[in-house]
Amino acid sequence: MKLLLLSCLLLTAGLVAGYRSALNDFQRSEGRELVPTPWNSARVQMLPGLNLEDCATRCSQSLDCRAFNYETRPTVTCKHLPWVGDGNNAEVKRNVNCDLYEKKVYVRKCIVGKGEDYRGKVFTTKSGLTCQQWWSKFPHDHRWTPTATNGLELNYCRNPDGDRIGPWCYTTDPERRYESCNIPQCKDEVCITCNGEEYRGQVDHTVTGRECQRWDQQYPHQHIYQPEKYPDKSLDDNYCRNPDASPVPWCYTTDPEVERERCDISKCTEVRVEKRQRSSFTTNCFRGRGEDYRGKVNETTSGIPCQPWDAQEPHEHPFYPNTYECKGLEENYCRNPDGSEAPWCFTSVPEMRTALCLQIKRCADDIEAEDCYHENGRNYRGMVRKTRKGITCQKWNVNTPHRTRINQRTHPEANLTENYCRNPDGDQHGPWCYTTDPKTEFDYCAIKQCAGEKVSMTEPEEKVEFSECGKRDDRAQRSRLRIVNGVPGNSPWTVSLRDRKGNHFCGGSLVNPRWVISTKQCFSSW
């Protein structure tokens, strides 16, 4: 049986090895459609029934295709378009049954390497001169001729000869023949603070130059970071991200031999770091999971002194204060550098590796709205006004930063009040709102479907069934409160993990008669 399984695996691996997805050429916008203006609609190429990968492959290979709409309802349709969503030819619109994929080289505002593939629309040089049209020989005569393949379009900056100055152009100033356009390298375009958990830039190669694997794909490497499961981590396309509090952003690679690798991204200057972070720090209590707790509690819940972070005695560990910058790993204070449930520390007793510091109180203002919606949330009338990525919603009756095509006038029955999350158009993913972030037109809200209702078809893996013992508590799931109605001593599914001498060293939850879930720091062998 085992042998059979192994040979099956090898077969799949063989098929996948060395395979690069054409989708790597594209940037995806979920729930959007690129709609051509009426006089352009004849230029859309309809390819019904193609699967996503084939739709992308054909677009990659076609010079006339710069983007495609991938519609899943009412029928699967691949629509190739000769534009991206930045011009006058077509407009990006909300369509819950469609995803828009645009070729990265046309939408990216940065370059990789010398930028030979840059197809952006910058047409001024670094000193501010306007570029000369490539088809024109005036004021500067030259040897280039625009063709279908070389990308020499209008007067846009390009690098047809692989010049080390990056994309350039002939200028319209007779005194200045050509000049670089200073298009930034992707690794410098958006800089990172701390360990780059907030990084949302467009680097898609690792430090050794390997191309990243898309987060929404499971090959060549299988992994747990599916974008829909970690909505607040922005696991977009195949861009470097840091969903697991690693020291720097990283990605899975398209090389079957190398699972994951870190990415090389510029660090921001110190000043910006401090300013942004300080406002969220707390000292007498903690919010969320306490990642921003900077107080001076230096012992565990049961009163055991903590081990200093810069020491490796009695416990060896990877949390060097220098590696985990900005995590406040000073002295022996309780901290949460790794996204655990609450602040914790290594303890000063050899028998107990780590323990949480639950004597630190949760801040009074940290109570989150406990809210849920029924069915698809069309009748949701609650007051949540924040998206799953934490962005504040835009009011339904204003048009900035986004034009509200759906509003009180178009949907009078939908109670589009203030900036509350609603579902006026029956979106299958539930209540949503336009957001106050200019880069994100809309997003789904930080509300879940109410307990006991059938889970939507897109997330079948969400369906968890426990036996009698260890019932899943949906209230704990929905809000970020990790302990619901718990009083020490009265929680039947809470487990105390003890060493051989009977000392408590960690807590856990019983999820099944034979299984306990706890955190990895509780065990020295992780």
In angstroms, what CA-CA distances link 110 with 25, 105, 115? 15, 9, 8
CB of 126 to ligand NAG, least distance (A): 51
Nearer to ligand NAG, 253 or 300 (CB): 300
The rounded distance, in Å, linking the Cα atoms of 174 and 140 is 7
Nearer to ligand NAG, 298 or 491 (CB): 298
CB of 408 to ligand NAG, least distance (A): 6
Binding residues among 430-489 for ligand NAG as defined by CB under 6 A: none
Return the structure tokens found at 292: 């921003």
Nearer to ligand NAG, 182 or 415 (CB): 415
Which listed residue (48, 49, 209, 305) binds ligand NAG by CB under 6 A? Answer: 305
CB of 513 to ligand NAG, least distance (A): 40
Question: Residue 390: left if φ>0, alpha if ψ -120 to 50, beta else—which one?
Answer: left
* Greatest alpha-carbon span in the chain: 87
Nearer to ligand NAG, 65 or 356 (CB): 356
Return the structure tokens found at 413: 């029955």
Please provide the DSSP assignment of 82-108 as one string. SS-TTSSSEEEEE-TTEEEEEEHHHH-
Binding residues among 160-179 for ligand NAG as defined by CB under 6 A: none
Q: Is 144 exposed, middle or buried (0-12, 13-18, 19+ CB in 10 A)?
A: middle
Contacts with 374 (C-beta within 8 Å, 6 or more apart), sequence order: 380, 449, 450, 453
Nearer to ligand NAG, 405 or 498 (CB): 405
CB of 487 to ligand NAG, least distance (A): 28
Phi, psi of 270 (to 5 degrees): -50, -45
CB of 333 to ligand NAG, least distance (A): 9
CB of 306 to ligand NAG, least distance (A): 7
Nearer to ligand NAG, 138 or 281 (CB): 281
CB of 379 to ligand NAG, least distance (A): 11
CB of 283 to ligand NAG, least distance (A): 12
Site string for ligand NAG, 395-424 (x = CB under 6 A): -------------x------xxx-------
What SS3 state is found at 362? strand
Site string for ligand NAG, 341-380 (x = CB under 6 A): ----------------------------------------
Question: Residue 247: left if φ>0, alpha if ψ -120 to 50, beta else—which one?
Answer: alpha
- Count of residues binding ligand NAG (CB under 6 A)? 9
Q: Are 120 and 103 in contact (CB under 8 A)?
A: no
CB of 158 to ligand NAG, least distance (A): 51
CB of 421 to ligand NAG, least distance (A): 13
Nearer to ligand NAG, 376 or 415 (CB): 415
CB of 407 to ligand NAG, least distance (A): 10
Does 298 contact ligand NAG by CB under 6 A?
yes
The alpha carbon of residue 331 and the mean position of all alpha carbons in its chain are separated, in whole angstroms, by: 33
Q: Are 421 and 385 in contact (CB under 8 A)?
A: yes
Residue 346: beta bridge partners?
354
The tokens 């739709």 sit on which residue? 55
SS3 of 412-454: the string is HHHCCCCCCCECCCCCCCCCEEEECCCCCCEEEECCEECCCCC
CB of 206 to ligand NAG, least distance (A): 40
Which listed residue (332, 387, 423, 449) binds ligand NAG by CB under 6 A? Answer: 332
Which listed residue (73, 267, 275, 296) binds ligand NAG by CB under 6 A? Answer: 296
Instruction: Give CA angle at 285 (315, 313), nearest 5°.
Output: 10
Return the structure tokens found at 170: 């002939």
The rounded distance, in Å, linking the Cα atoms of 292 and 279 is 10
CB of 508 to ligand NAG, least distance (A): 26
The rounded distance, in Å, linking the Cα atoms of 427 and 73 is 12
Nearer to ligand NAG, 15 or 311 (CB): 311
What's the chain's length in residues?
A: 526
In angstroms, what CA-CA distances link 269 with 247, 272, 276, 280, 523? 17, 6, 12, 19, 37
Report long-range pairs for 512-516 (Cβ below 8 Å, ≥24 apart). Answer: 512/466, 512/467, 512/469, 512/470, 513/467, 513/469, 513/470
Site string for ligand NAG, 251-290 (x = CB under 6 A): ----------------------------------------
Nearer to ligand NAG, 207 or 285 (CB): 285
Nearer to ligand NAG, 296 or 520 (CB): 296
The rounded distance, in Å, linking the Cα atoms of 362 and 368 is 12
Nearer to ligand NAG, 55 or 329 (CB): 329
Nearer to ligand NAG, 18 or 305 (CB): 305
Nearer to ligand NAG, 303 or 492 (CB): 303
Residues at the contact surface with ligand NAG, assessed by CB under 6 A: 296, 298, 305, 332, 381, 408, 415-417
